[in-house]
Structure 1
Amino acid sequence: MSADADAAAQGTQTPFERLGGETGVRTLVDRFYDLMDLEPVYAGIRRLHPATLDGSRDKLFWFLCGWLGGPSHYIERYGHPRLRARHMPYAIGIAERDQWMACMIQAMEECAVDPAMAQRLAESFFGTADWMRNKGG
């Protein structure tokens, strides 16, 4: 049974709902990219993105909505996410993974995501971020 089906069967909310639906996910994604743009500590991952982050913001928002148990906006637009293949052109190592994670953790803290949920999300994000690595270091 999927996490969404399990949550529905237990009468609990999906992570998407617990974050506040599309508004909450958009707030988190916007804070994530604002931090990436503002904080020098995230310059390494910022360099991997286009000059304007508008498209990146939308794509992460659309992806996270579905990944968290909400609408499948990303799949409707682009099909299967194929995350690793889509990130292969970018040199992603441990430093980039760790910067991405630190930026997302900071965004979750600043958006007041429930600490227990933030911890579970961080564990899931880490697994995906680590899987994106395609270079050493």
Structure 2
Amino acid sequence: MLSPSNTPYMLIGQEAGTRALANAFYDEMESNIHLQELLAIHKQPLDDIREKFFQYLSGWLGGPPLYEEIYGHPRLRQRHMHVAVTKKQAELWLLCMNNAVNKTIDNDSLKKHLRQSFTQLALHMVNQ
């Protein structure tokens, strides 16, 4: 299913699909009562962080490396060291991301692949 020419970025609809996923993630965080703890650690308003997350996802999903072009290598753990990322917060992040995936992606095998990849990413971020 996945190949260099058939990346998750391509499969979700390139820029529009990637932006939809990033926005669904933050929409979920803002609207889901169970995610208020996660929302509280994000700088408000979320406009800038939504854009940065879209840029990051673009490259992470196999599309243009927009984030790297502007900010350099993501170094996610390093960039998040000022925040205590617990296993609980990683699980909340995954809940938010999985709900966003469910709302924006129809392809079941792609959903499964992304959930596995996002799980690895979230667990990698735990620093407490």
Q: Which TM-score applies when normalising by structure 1?
A: 0.88
Quick check: 1:112 aligned with 2:108? no
The residue that corresponds to 2:29 in the other structure is 36
Kept after mapping to 1: 8 A contact 2:12/2:105: no
Letter in 2 for 1:56: I
Q: Percent identity?
A: 37
Q: CA RMSD in A?
A: 1.2
Match of 2:59 in 1: 66
Return the alpha-carbon distance in structure 2 between the equivalents of residues 112 and 119 of structure 1.
Answer: 11
2:12 matched to 1:19? yes
CA drift of 1:55 comes to 1.2
- Note if contact 2:55-2:66 (Cα within 8 Å) is conserved in structure 1: yes
1:56 CA displacement: 1.0
- Name stretches of at least 5 consecutive residues in structure 1 with no aligned partner: 1-5
Quote the residue 2:115 is aligned against.
Answer: 122
Which entry has the higher C-alpha Rg, 1 or 2? 1
TM-score (structure 2 length as normaliser): 0.94
The residue identity in structure 1 corresponding to 2:52 is: K
Amino acid in the other structure paired with 2:84: A
Partners of 2:33 and 2:83 in 1: CA distance: 20
Q: Distance in 1 between matches of 2:126 and 2:84?
A: 8
- Distance in 2, matches of 1:54 and 1:32, equals 13
CA–CA distance in structure 1, aligned partners of residues 7 and 105 of structure 2:
17
Q: Deviations over 1:6-62 (max 9, x none)?
A: 813xxx511100000000000011011011011110111101101211111111100
SS at 2:84 equivalent: coil
User: How far, CA to CA, are the matches of 1:33 and 1:86 in structure 2?
Assistant: 19
**1:78-97 mapped onto 2 (5 Å cutoff):** 78-97=71-90
Where does the alignment leave 5 or more consecutive residues of structure 2 unmatched? none
